[in-house]
A and B are shown apart, each in its own frame.
Chain A
Amino acid sequence: MKQKAPFIDSLLGFTAVVGLVALYAPLIAVVVLSFFQITRLRGVIGFAPFSLEPYAALVANHEILSALATSLTVATIASLASLVLALMFAFYFVTARRGFGLLMQVMVFLPFLLPPIITGLALLIAFREIDFSRGLATVIIGHVVFIVPVVYRTVLVRLQLLGRSLTEASLDLGASQTQTLVHVILPQMRPALISGLLLAFAISFDETLITLFVAGSETTLPIRLWAMMRVGFVPEINALATLILLFTAAITVAIGLMQRSQGERAS
């Protein structure tokens, strides 16, 4: 049932189109410019013919490639660690006394609710106070602190959906706590674990604002890009941006479709 309101609908539709254009036009421009570079001949602007030159330059750029390697390492370790921690916290929340659980939850959520600049500089100062020098480890810790709340939330929702009866039935049938966890609970949570892991990976791979504080000489890809852009225009950035956009879009669509089918099954 929907009441007809052509005027309102066209107004809303127009806003939606404006919104989509604003969101996508810059991204599409980058993709197009990665294949067709802008040329200037005696002040006249035009497009160069299709070329993969920026992509070739990208493959030859060792700074970018090493930053990419760092980012992949960080994202892998951080997302796996976050998953383990998030699972631990979620089990704690559903089993421990309510007060303890809530206290834990507030602290876990804080870094995601605070502006990233606060989380970043707080970690920076804490590391400095205990003389822990900046490097790969600090970046990973910074990412884990920021990502855990997201994964925790995904995992907890699923865990609470499972309810107690499943666990109790398993224990009643003589399974140990560990057996119950491995054979009953974790398989049931697999979709949530996978989408949590992907989400964690995507956020870590992209994280910029916290990393700027806690990164030492090891730079992740976003930081490398940030540094390159400050200096000026480098054609391979368009190529790299295009690849990253495609990559994140694929991950996001996968997560979205997964959560949707999960939601459908849950409802």
Chain B
Amino acid sequence: MQPLLHLENISKRYGSVRVLDGIDIAVADNEFLTILGPSGSGKTTILRIIGGFESIDGGRLMFDGRDLAAVPINRRPFNTVFQDYALFHHMSVAENIGYGLKVRGRPKAEIATRVADVLETVGLGAFGARYPAQLSGGQRQRVALARAIICEPRMILLDEPLSALDVDLRAQMQRFLKSLQRRLGIAFVFITHDQEEAIALSDRIVVVNHGRIEQEGAPEQLYRRPRTPFIAAFLGENNLLSGVLAAVDGQLGQVDTAAGRLVATADGPLPALGQAVQVAVRPEHITLSPASAATRDALTAEVADIRFLGANILIELTHPALPDTVLKVRRLADGSAADFRTGQKLNLSWAVHDAALLVPGG
């Protein structure tokens, strides 16, 4: 099926600095796609290129089978919600929302009805006559959304729209965004550096780092099967252990680390034997047991610190062969923390499918 929006092998440079390199992203109809990356990764540049605010140095930008190269910003068939909303402070809420229709020369009566409709959609029915300065952050956010959807685009771009909101409001707006996207049945291309937000909202996530796509996939897939150390560290928490690939059995690889041989599951092709790889294990996937119980595959480590974090307990352990690494283990705070104390030696074990085999830089 032809994607709605297709970035084909896009590259971009500022002077001699290459900010985007071979970016290839396809957005399907009705999809909530998130472009996730740390600051400076190039994610905002991607959005600005789609919006038409930046030119490209290589590749093609296709929308609905049409090349957008010659299409100026104001003729591109989708709209943007800007990071700080960019609401025109000299126009009322209704005028802001109706702006897209007004510049298209729609009759006043039609604009009024459609603005009223959209205000209802975003839950701001009574706010049309107010000015942006009289609104709260969450309300401004809704106005910016209303303004972007009034012309009924098949896709909208959202540039870190929740970053200016406080934590409570952000959770509320996340739910609202997700439900709005389902109700409208249009594609959302969402930019963020917040991995929790990306996981909570998206149908699919594209992770960008240093101007390249690091990995893409459904949130759960990325979380469970990170392919690179960057993804493993960026999405959620991970224990990373470096080693050398010693043996291969199907998708399973045996890795020789300083702390001994570990078995991990690879997603995708395995590298050659003898290559440097990493094993990633989530803190919540590790089982702790008393060191006396001899388990062959387990690591034995010493409890360095126990931290109560509300719903969780974080246990930090050190291993004599891994001087630079703190192993993290999470347990539900169900009272069992009393079982552990600092200085205690414990065995760490996990299911083989919970250990991900990662290839650095690939």
Residues in chain A within 8 A of chain B (CB atoms): 1, 3-4
Contacts and interface: CB of A to CB of B under 8 A. Distances in A.
Nearest 7 CB-CB pairings of A with B: A1-B53, A3-B73, A3-B72, A3-B74, A4-B72, A1-B73, A1-B54
Interface residues of B, number: 6
7 contacts: A1-B48, A1-B54, A1-B73, A3-B72, A3-B73, A3-B74, A4-B72
Contacts of B72: 3-4
Nearest to A1: B53
A3 B73 CA distance: 8
Interface of A is mostly: loop
Nearest to B73: A3
Given A1-B48, A3-B72, 6 more contacts: A1-B53, A1-B54, A1-B73, A3-B73, A3-B74, A4-B72
Interface string B53-88: 110000000000000000011100000000000000
B221 to A, nearest CB: 36
Contacts of B48: 1
B55 to A, nearest CB: 10
A255 to B, nearest CB: 32
A73 B54 CA distance: 56
A3 B72 CA distance: 8
Contacts of A3: 72-74
Interface in B25-56: 48, 53-54
A201 B54 CA distance: 46
Interface in B103-131: none
A4 to B, nearest CB: 7
B73 to A, nearest CB: 6
A1 B49 CA distance: 11
Interface in B219-233: none
Contacts of B74: 3
Contacts of A4: 72
A3 B71 CA distance: 12
Nearest to B51: A1
B270 to A, nearest CB: 46
A4 B53 CA distance: 12
